[in-house]
């Protein structure tokens, strides 16, 4: 799970695309958007959702960079917005679990 978080943090996309995706997060409806993007039943865990969204986003990024006519900025923004929201969901579940598993700090 930590590898997914590291991978997400290392993504670099054009500023305008990221700003549009941040704005689009307010319209994010998880069940509706994920059903449309994943074209399959929702996976059980957030980790699987994020991995699948990363694959879809990589496809959109590749078509964007190649300048292909099939590239849809709207779809790319929708995927990025979903990825941002799902990343926060995953992070809110993983970080508290990691913190509770760590040993207490020694008193000085």
Instruction: Write down the domain spans for the chain.
Output: 2-101
pLDDT at 88: 87
Tokens representing 11 are: 């993504």
Give the model's pLDDT for residue 94. 64
Whether 90 contacts 46, CB under 8 Å: yes
DSSP structure class, residue 25:
G
- State residue 36's pLDDT score: 92
User: 53 with 36: CB under 8 angstroms?
Assistant: no
Residue 108: per-residue pLDDT:
41
pTM of the model: 0.79
CA dihedral 39, 44, 50, 56 (to 10 degrees): -20
- Tens-digit pLDDT profile for the chain (108 aa)? 556 667 767 778 999 999 999 999 999 999 899 999 998 888 777 788 988 999 999 999 999 999 999 999 999 999 999 999 998 888 787 655 555 555 454 444
């Amino acid at each position: 799970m930590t590898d997914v978080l590291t991978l997400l943090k290392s993504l670099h996309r054009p500023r305008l695309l990221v700003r549009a995706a941040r704005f689009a997060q307010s319209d994010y409806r998880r069940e509706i958007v994920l059903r449309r993007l994943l074209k399959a039943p929702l996976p059980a865990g957030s980790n699987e959702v994020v991995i699948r969204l990363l694959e879809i986003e990589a496809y959109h990024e590749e078509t964007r960079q190649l300048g292909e006519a099939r590239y849809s900025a709207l779809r790319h923004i929708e995927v990025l917005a979903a990825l941002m929201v799902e990343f926060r969901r995953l992070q809110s579940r993983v970080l508290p679990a990691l913190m509770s598993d760590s040993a207490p700090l020694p008193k000085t």
